[in-house]
Amino acid sequence: MILQFSHFNFSKAEPLKSSDIAKIEKEFSLPENKERKAKTDAFSKTKVKKGTTVYHIPKQIKDIKEFLEIARRKDAKSARIKKNADSVKFKVRCSRYLYTLVVKDKSKANKLKQSLPPALDVKDI
């Protein structure tokens, strides 16, 4: 069964009135308390350049023991330590990912720096 639809001529359509616009906005607007974007981790918000694969995206580690295990792996090439006013960032470059650990306590950061493997190339920034 074939149905035939009549064509709608848009040239004869009337422009919207201001009262119609208000009705449409009320009907289709999002509630103000709802967020449009999903809450994500800080690293997932970073801008990804064109041509970047999943292998280049950094990973944030939140456990110190896990970070030390990663730093002791065979594929760990180098480490960078960046000191900010309120925190210290430890970054370890492995073959696949760049792992980052953020430590806010200065004494823990000094202990962690001493416990990094001596074979690892460490740079202070």
Residue 21 near residue 27 (C-beta atoms within 8 A): no
Q: How far apart are CA 111 and CA 2, in angstroms?
A: 78
Q: Is the pLDDT of residue 86 over 60?
A: yes
Overall pTM surpassing 0.75 (yes/no) = no
Residue 65 near residue 110 (C-beta atoms within 8 A): no
Banded model confidence at residue 13, pLDDT cuts 50, 70, 90: low
- Helices and strands in the chain: count of H runs, count of E runs: 3, 5
Residue 94 near residue 75 (C-beta atoms within 8 A): yes
Burial of 105: CB neighbours in 10 Å, binned 0-12, 13-18, 19+: exposed
**Mean pLDDT in residue range 36-41:** 54
| 30 or 85, higher pLDDT | 85
Contacts of 84 (CB under 8 A, 6+ apart): none
**Mean pLDDT in residue range 29-50:** 58
Q: What is the set of domains in the chain, with CATH numbers?
A: 52-124 (3.30.720.90)
In the sheet that holds 88-93, the strands lie side by side as 59-61, 98-103, 88-93, 78-83, 121-124
| 82 or 45, higher pLDDT | 82
| 5 or 110, higher pLDDT | 110
Per-residue pLDDT, 22: 77
In the chain, % of residues over pLDDT 70: 66
